[in-house]
Amino acid sequence: MREIDRESSKLSLTFSENVLAETNKYTLHIKEEDEGRLKGLPESGKDAARAAAKAKELTGFIFTLNFPSYFPFVSFVEDRELRKEMATAYGSRGFQNNENDN
């Protein structure tokens, strides 16, 4: 039983690390001229995304899978295809057939 518990703990940690790595890796860059696709997103969400883009020395908006970026995006952006892209990326974290594959 102890061996099973140890293995389970180890696998759980690996799983979480892989999901975190995938979360941190993903970005969605929306160019300034495509701001209209962000219709419905509150200005505070746009401001945070602009700041994220500026931090990466890009123009436009950067969205990530981290909750403060992800949740307002999928909650308020009216563009169904953009929401689908973010939701698919979120749901497939750790299942990308790469070094972080669970």
Cβ neighbours of residue 38 closer than 8 Å, sequence gap 6 or more? 30, 45, 46, 49, 61, 77, 79, 82
3-state SS assignment for residue 30:
strand
This prediction's pTM: 0.85
Query: pLDDT (tens digit, 9 = 90+) per residue, 26-39?
Result: 999 999 999 999 99
Please give the pLDDT value at position 37: 97
Rounded to 5 degrees, φ, ψ at 98 are -135, -165
Cα(23)–Cα(2) distance, integer angstroms: 31
The domain locations on the chain are 2-91
Residue whose tokens read 């299942």: 95
3-state SS, 33-92, equals HHHHHHCCCCHHHHHHHHHHHHHCCCCCEEEECCHHHHHHHHHHCCCHHHHHHHHHHHHC
In the predicted model, residues of the chain with pLDDT beneath 70 are: none
Please give the pLDDT value at position 54: 97
3-state SS assignment for residue 97:
coil
